[in-house]
Amino acid sequence: MRGRRPGKPMSFRNSVTIVASPRPRVGKTLLARLLTDFHLHEGRSVAAFDLNSGEGTLAQFLPEHATASEIVDIQGQMALFDRLVADDGTTKIVDLGSESFESFFALASQIGFAEEARRRGIAPAILFVITPDHTSVEAYRGLRRRLSPATLAPVLNEMLGPAQHRDKYPTSGSGASLARFPVLAPGLRRYIEKPPFSFADSRLANAKDIPLDVHIELQRWLRKIYLEFRELDLRILLVDLQSSIRLQS
């Protein structure tokens, strides 16, 4: 097994990012789609896992990159988690449906998912879409405790309206900070809501009957989001390196 030599600084080679919230309809799947497309856009090999049921799922939007998964039985759990910790040079994304939130993290904490990932040079991170309700605040607090080796990054979805509640979501794990998910200009949503759809598709402007001005606006929005992701990604991947440098100086 490849281990980390003690005292040796290391940056992570890959990451597993879990997009989560105990609330439905807060923009998780859109966030997971954008994150998947971001990594594809950056030229990485990406595997996304979709823990949702119903319509408009990640697997429907990105059939080539996302796999519909479930963790009800042990076969499903093995198919998902064994793949997540596999050191195969692939960036992984989990779109965690609200109905699977509790069972996923209960299992992850029981089997030591975050510890195993770190041991294999894979950075575990959770993008938590924050909402003002008590359930979410409590769930967030629980995650800080249960999955402490993972970077827990609150995400403010500006499409959900103003947020006075962000101080209820202290960041956890070095390198984490609040990520912003900017508002998409009104009227643009309908262009991106029909699966399959990839923001990383280079033929986007022609193939999808998207007017030029909409396309430009979309690109502007994407750039903002990609910038957030790039910063977040760097922070997550460089966490250990930074902390070891700080220790030495």
Partner 1 sequence: MARPAVVLVGADKGGVGKTTIARTLLDYFGAHQTPTRAFDTESPRGTLKRFHPYVTEVVDVTSVPDQMKIFDTLGNAEARVTVIDVRAGLLSSTLQALSDIGFLESAKKGQITFAVFHILGPSIASLEEIAATARFVGDANYYLVKNHINDTSFFEWDPATYNSYFKQIKGAEEITIPKLNEMACEQVEVASVPYVSFVANKNAKGEAANYSFVLRGYVRHWLGNVWGEFDRVKLVDLVAPKMESNIRQAAG
List interacting residues with partner 1 (CB under 8 A). 1, 74-75, 77-78, 81-82, 85, 110-113, 116
Shortest reach from residue 104's CB to partner 1, in Å: 12
Residue 5 near residue 155 (C-beta atoms within 8 A): no
Shortest reach from residue 86's CB to partner 1, in Å: 8
Shortest reach from residue 75's CB to partner 1, in Å: 8
Q: How far is the C-alpha of 128 from the C-alpha of 180, rounded, in Å?
A: 11
Residue 2 near residue 79 (C-beta atoms within 8 A): no
Closer of 114 and 152 to partner 1 (Cβ): 114
If you write DSSP's letter for every residue of the chain in order, what string do you get?
Answer: ---PPTT-----SEEEEEEE-SSSSSSHHHHHHHHHHHHHHTT--EEEEEE--SSS-HHHH-TTTEEE---SSHHHHHHHHHHHT--SS-EEEEEE-GGGHHHHHHHHHHTTHHHHHHHTTEEEEEEEE--SSHHHHHHHHHHHHHTTTSEEEEEEEGGG---S-GGGS--BSTT---EEEPPPPTT-HHHH-SSS--TT-TTHHHHTT--HHHHHHHHHHHHHHHHHHHHHHHHHHTHHHHHHHHHH-
Closer of 77 and 131 to partner 1 (Cβ): 77
Shortest reach from residue 51's CB to partner 1, in Å: 15
Closer of 122 and 222 to partner 1 (Cβ): 122
Shortest reach from residue 116's CB to partner 1, in Å: 6
Q: How far is the C-alpha of 226 from the C-alpha of 20, rounded, in Å?
A: 19
Closer of 41 and 92 to partner 1 (Cβ): 92
Closer of 75 and 243 to partner 1 (Cβ): 75
Shortest reach from residue 115's CB to partner 1, in Å: 10
Closer of 101 and 113 to partner 1 (Cβ): 113
Closer of 74 and 207 to partner 1 (Cβ): 74
Shortest reach from residue 4's CB to partner 1, in Å: 15
Least Cα distance to 37 among 235, 216, 219 occurs for 219
